[in-house]
Amino acid sequence: MPTLPDFRLETHFARWEFAARYHLTASDAQTVTMAELLALADEDGRERWESLALGYTETRGLPALREAIASTYTDAEADDILCFAGAEEGIYLAMRTLLEPSDHLVVLTPNYQAAETVPLSVAEVTGVALRPEDGWALDVDAIEQALRPNTRMVSVNFPNNPTGAVPTPEAWQRLVDLCAERGILLFSDEVYRGLELTRDPLPQATDLSGTALSLNVMSKAYGLPGLRIGWIACRDRTVLDRLERAKHYTTICNSAPSEVLALIALRARDQLLARNRGIIAANLPSFTEFFDRYSDLFEFAAPDGGCVAYPRYLGVDGVEAMCEALVEQAGVLLLPASIYRSALTGTPTDRFRVGVGRHNPGPALAAWADWLEHR
């Protein structure tokens, strides 16, 4: 198979994520300390943690963890869950395992790069763009027009990274029905679900369709990326059987400590998600005030869901130059539009990703404002 291209986001982060003074483009919600997480443990979770043996774990995931994950769905059971080392492994193995060279896939843009480049290494891929002039709305008609007789999968991500867009329930249901009627797998990246502020979360794909795949992870909405625990939920267990056999060639099994900590977190999920929504809600006025103050340079809209937004930069120097100079001169890290360029569709060249889910963005915004005033 073709060699995968450099992962632009991770290459950029390798240079700046831990070197920049202010990480203002984080894609995850504010994390908790080990002590804070263990304080949320019930009696069973505490006992599991204190008596944990550091041996191999089950490939599909700790049974109690899969039960806890299944409880976050309406119709899934523990046997409908397969755990992975983060969401990336799930994306990689699903695309490499479930697609053949003769297949065709439709993917939305802009997107998390792996959702595009991994399937491109296997099959034919058509992009359908979310457009800023349409409010990043899901265009089911455009997806339907992109389908072919050999379309095997449609891949989507909502709440969307980087735009924060969430489709209407009507459009979402129509897409689920379209895929089910055509016998097409719907691969739904739902890693930001639970961080919606102004609307109810969409029903998860696997609850709406017995063949759809729902991807989730502890990293984003829960703010626990250090655990490296993700999963795919699918009620077609033959699909999970294939993915399990593929996982034997990658991580084989997950970290035992991480599985127990993820179990503790999921049992306290209402508290964690409410906390993280509260952080976003508290932060958004600061971001709105900042972008309003410099309305000659920026256009900003709060995300429908998730903890990232995709503002527009209006400066004559261009967004790439602005982001580069800002991190080099003021230590404020953003992700410019080039990170989200696509080989499949045109994508905006005047946007950048900002994260709104971390505590205390004030110092970063102040450093950014000072840089704007004195550059």
Residue 3: pLDDT band with limits 50, 70, 90: confident
Rounded to a whole number of angstroms, the CA Rg of the chain reads 20
| Beta strand extents in 58-212 (DSSP E only) | 81-84, 104-109, 124-129, 151-157, 185-189
Cβ–Cβ under 8 Å, residues 123 and 99 = yes
Question: In the prediction, which pLDDT does 2 show?
Answer: 61
**pLDDT higher than threshold 60 for residue 340:** yes
Query: Is the CATH number 3.40.640.10 carried by domain 34-268?
Result: yes
* Domain spanning 8-33+271-374: CATH superfamily: Aspartate Aminotransferase, domain 1 (3.90.1150.10)
CB-based contacts of 328, cutoff 8 Å, min separation 6:
none
> What residue segments make up the domains of the chain, in order of their start?
8-33+271-374, 34-268
Asked whether the domain spanning 34-268 has the same topology as the one spanning 8-33+271-374, the reply is: no
pLDDT, one tens digit per residue, over 260-292 is 999 999 999 999 999 999 999 999 999 999 999
The whole-number pLDDT of residue 321 equals: 98
Strand, helix or coil at 261? helix
